[in-house]
Amino acid sequence: MLDLSTGRHPAAREPAGARRAPRRKPGARRAARARWAGWLFVVPALGMYGLFVLRPLALTIQYSLYQWDGIGPSTWTGLGNYATVFSDPALLAIIGNAFKLIVAFSVVPVLLGLAVAVVIRRISASRLALTARTVLFLPQVIPLVAAGIAWSWLLSSTGVANQFLSAIGLGGITRAWLGDFSTALPAVGLIGAWVLVGLCTVLLMSGMTKIDPSLYEAARIDGAGLWREFTAVTLPSIRQEIAVCVTVTVIAALASFDIVYISTQGGPGEATMVPGLEIYELAFSHRQVGLASALAVVLIVLVLACVLPIQRLARKGAQ
Amino acid sequence: MIGSRREAIIGRALLILLMAFTVLPFVSLFTTALQPSGTYPLGLEWPAHPQWGNFTQAFKAAQMGSLLESSALIVAGVVPVSVLIATMAGFAIGHLRVPGSRLAFLLFLVGLTLPFEGVITPLYYEVQGMGLLNTRWAIILPLIGLFMPFSVYWMRAHFVTAPAELTDAARTDGVNTWQLFWRIHVPLARPAISSLTILLFLWTWNQFLLAIVLVDDPTKRTMAGALGAFQGQWGTNIPLLCAGSLIILVPTLLVFLAFQRHFVVALLQGSLKG
């Protein structure tokens, strides 16, 4: 069937391959036009994405080159704001806090999740394990804000943590964990670990159920001990799942906001201040939009710099 | 045999311990919520006289009715539109392979790891410029955009594997692209679409940063944003704060328990792909 409307389009607009095709089906030209018409399907998503992600992204970079209080005129400072981010000890400490949180948000949940998943490998199909899957997922479902409120209470001076410590005879070390300079950041880390350990455990568990049991038998026949079995069979098989856990948790650590906002507001002093919260404070409380934007760009780049190597490693391992 | 039985026992004990650690905050919230309002109780202690009235009081104090309505409106504004336009884009990029689809895909990938804090400042001025500050649109419209990278990535991953023969057959029958999408490919994509819907529902409901930055009035925010305001207001009355937090958790928990199998699968797939 000949589509008359296509005749009006110059043939040059069609992909070259379609024109040279020797036995062209009657519908081919129409199909080529339909291929371009397919862009209409992309436009709404691309439009919203452009308007609310790409444009703000470009604006963040633009703002970061100016000094601006958000209302009055702005002055060009070039890379001055970045110089501040990388030289101001307070801001460097804040970026440092984000990296310290990686220990609690990523290392602990992934190692603990790995340990639990290995130990319960044999009972992973039991009723208990299935219940555990649901229960361990609860922290993923509730708002982080709620986790922050609950843990602020647990870690307060009369909270469960101190109650427990007193009960086992450690009453001497009780304190308001989130209010103490030396323990506030680890306490925030604990909240993050609580949120993420379930996700990691369940992810790694589900990865392990896909491992062929004969691999373990083969390893046992070869006289491999538990450790050897773990490094030779388990770890390589769940590489992908581990990479996912690390990626998700590292992003959660570097870009943390909700938990810190609710539980400590960055305090005491600046002991638990993280880049996400500092951007918010700089931009909306201190009216230093330029500096806030420079920190935002640094945060975006840091996340990429951490995540891309993890992805590359995982992909290399898969080949 | 004995060795593996011991392993199983240790495994069970570990699992139970981990589950106890997970539910501990909820239990503490619950026992505290039943203490007399305004007191400073212990973290874990069953009250002599459980004050069930705290829940009613918190329900009123938190204006739960209007909060639920607000969150529902925001979800209704974000999720269906996001799912629809992401499915369309995923279809065009992953299946139709429109010219330049690789480029479009890469463009979406740029936003995949973007922390929302990275763009929140310009978003504020952008939304202000549109005259939408302090309206629900201030949360709805940016969220749709911010969800696009993951959503398009997710739907594309499905459509890449959709059978090309179906499309060829439909084309020879003279089916146009919209019909091809709507009648043939959307029904096949239902599992991917429902997982995406669950994830987006959750992420919208729990969205905090956009809510506190772009909307001042807690009754026009998401649940999570409202909870933040509730803490600011009632932070000193611990039992009431705990009761309010629990009430605000209930809707998510109910939805989670109702769809728990789908949730776990969606979250697992979501994190694996993302």
Query: Cis omega (within 30 of 0) on the bond before A268?
Result: yes
Distance from CA of B3 to the nearest CA of A (A): 12
**Binning pLDDT at 50, 70 and 90, where does residue B4 land?**
low
User: Nearest chain B Cα to A292, which residue?
Assistant: B121
pLDDT in tens, B123-178: 999 999 999 998 999 999 999 999 999 999 999 988 988 888 888 888 888 888 88
Size of interface A-B (CB pairs under 8 A): 312
Chain B nearest CA to A9, separation (Å): 17
Contact residues, chain A, for B206 at CB < 8 Å: 142-145
Q: Residue B7 in 3-state DSSP?
A: helix
B267–A199 C-beta distance less than 8 A: yes
pLDDT (average), residues A53-77: 91
> From CA A241, how far away is CA A180, in angstroms rounded?
36
Among residues A150, A265, A284, which one has the least CA distance to residue B245? A150
Interface test with B, best of A1, A24, A30, A52 (most B CBs within 10 A): A52
Per-window interface: A 66-95 vs B, CB < 8 A: 70
Using CA atoms, how far apart are residues B243 and B250, in angstroms rounded to an integer? 11
Q: What's the gap in Å between the CA of B177 and the closest CA on chain A? A: 7
The residue of chain B nearest to residue A57, with distances taken between CA atoms, is: B119
Out of B89, B111, B242, closest to residue A153 by CB = B242
Which residue on chain A is closest to B177 by alpha carbon?
A: A34
Interface mutation target, options B7, B22, B203, B236, chain A, most CBs of A under 10 Å: B22
Please report the pLDDT score of residue A13 as a whole number. 38
Which has more confidence, B134 or A120? B134
CA A274 to chain B, closest CA, distance in angstroms equals 11
Q: Over the stretch B179-201, which tens digit does the pLDDT of each residue have?
A: 888 988 999 999 889 889 988 99
Mark yes or no for CB contact B119/A283 under 8 Å.
no
pLDDT at A32: 67
Confidence of residue A318 (pLDDT cuts 50, 70, 90): low
Q: Is the pLDDT of residue A229 over 70?
A: yes
Interchain contact A204–B (C-beta under 8 A): no
pLDDT of residue A43: 93
pLDDT of B245 above 60: yes
A297 min Cα distance to partner chain B (Å): 7
Report the residue from B92, B116, B146 with minimal CB separation from A41: B92
Mean pLDDT (whole number) for B262-268: 73
Contacts of A57 in chain B (CB under 8 A): 110-111, 114, 118-119, 122
Please state, for a pLDDT cut of 90, what percent of chain B lies above it: 32
Residue B219, classed as helix, strand or coil, is helix
Say whether A27 and B172 touch across the interface (CB within 8 A).
yes
Mean pLDDT (whole number) for A224-243: 86
What residues of chain A lie within 8 A of the CB of B96, using their CB? 34-35, 38, 41
Q: From B238, which residue of chain A is nearest by alpha-carbon distance?
A: A153
Each residue of A261-293: pLDDT tens digit? 998 988 788 899 999 999 999 999 999 999 999
Taking CB atoms and an 8 Å cutoff, what residues of chain A touch B43? 153-154, 156, 158-163
* pLDDT interval class at A9 (50, 70, 90): very low
B70 close to B219: Cβ distance less than 8 angstroms? yes
Q: Which residue of A has its CA nearest to B269?
A: A203
Q: Which residue of B has its CA nearest to A294?
A: B118
A71 to chain B: which residues are within 8 Å by CB? none
All domains in chain A, ordered by first residue: 4-76 (no CATH), 82-318 (1.10.3720.10)
Highest-scoring range by mean pLDDT, A2-6, A35-39, B100-104, B172-176: B100-104
Name the amino acid, one letter, at A13. Answer: R
pLDDT exceeds 80 at position A12: no
What ipTM, to 2 d.p.? 0.88
Can you tell me whether residue B217 is helix, strand or coil?
coil
Tokens of B107: 């463009």
Q: Could you tell me which chain B residue has the CA closest to the CA of A27?
A: B172
Concatenated DSSP letters of B74-98: HHHHHHHHHHHHHHHHHHIIIII--
Write down all domains in chain B, each with its CATH number in brackets. Answer: 2-57 (no CATH), 65-273 (1.10.3720.10)
